[in-house]
Amino acid sequence: MNAFVAMDLDRFIGGLTDDVVAFEFDLENKPVRLESQTEVARWAGMMFAELKRMNATMKLDVQKISCQSGSAFAYCTVEFNFSMVMGDGSTMTQPTRNTVALRKSGGVWKWAHWHSSPSAAPAH
């Protein structure tokens, strides 16, 4: 999540399985379904490019993390406030909940699935 907020595409994509599936939102707050690491890279790259063009930054204020794991599979729920600060200083904050499923391969945990959803109406 920190790599995403930092708009570090290589680090973000490096933490995903090749067959990752994700349910996210685009910059117009429309739902997006992504079905591979390649699709996530394309989506995140476009998001990061547009945010950088707008001179915007992102921030996560994590409220709660809960994880359960076995030897090769784990899942986590993460509740956080996602904030976007625009170049003009205006801020949009969206309370959000992510559910993340992870697989361990070669001793490394990687995201295999995630789902983002608003946990309340956005605060402006």
CATH level 3 topology of 2-116: Nuclear Transport Factor 2; Chain: A, (3.10.450)
Q: Which is higher by pLDDT, 122 or 9? A: 9
| The two structure tokens encoding residue 124 | 């402006």
What's the pLDDT tens digit per position in 73-90? 999 999 999 999 998 999
Q: Give, in order, the Cα–Cα distances in Å from 2 to each of 12, 15, 59, 70.
A: 8, 11, 9, 24
CB distance 86 to 56 below 8 Å: yes
Listed in sequence order, the residues at least 6 apart from 2 whose beta carbon sits closer than 8 Å to its beta carbon are 60
Average pLDDT over residues 4-13: 96
| The two structure tokens encoding residue 43 | 């989506």
Q: So what's the pLDDT on residue 55?
A: 95
Q: So what's the pLDDT on residue 16?
A: 97
Domain ranges of the chain: 2-116
Backbone angles phi, psi at 42, to 5 degrees: -65, -50
- Please determine, for residue 122, whether its predicted confidence score (pLDDT) is greater than 70: no
Q: So what's the pLDDT on residue 121?
A: 64
∠ CA 30-114-41, rounded to 5°: 70
Listed in sequence order, the residues at least 6 apart from 48 whose beta carbon sits closer than 8 Å to its beta carbon are 7, 9
Query: Is residue 118 very low, low, confident or very high in pLDDT (cuts 50, 70, 90)?
Result: confident
> Which has the closest alpha carbon to 43: 60, 59, 63, 20?
20
What's the pLDDT tens digit per position in 11-68? 999 999 999 999 998 878 889 999 999 999 999 999 999 999 999 999 999 999 999 9
Q: So what's the pLDDT on residue 110?
A: 97
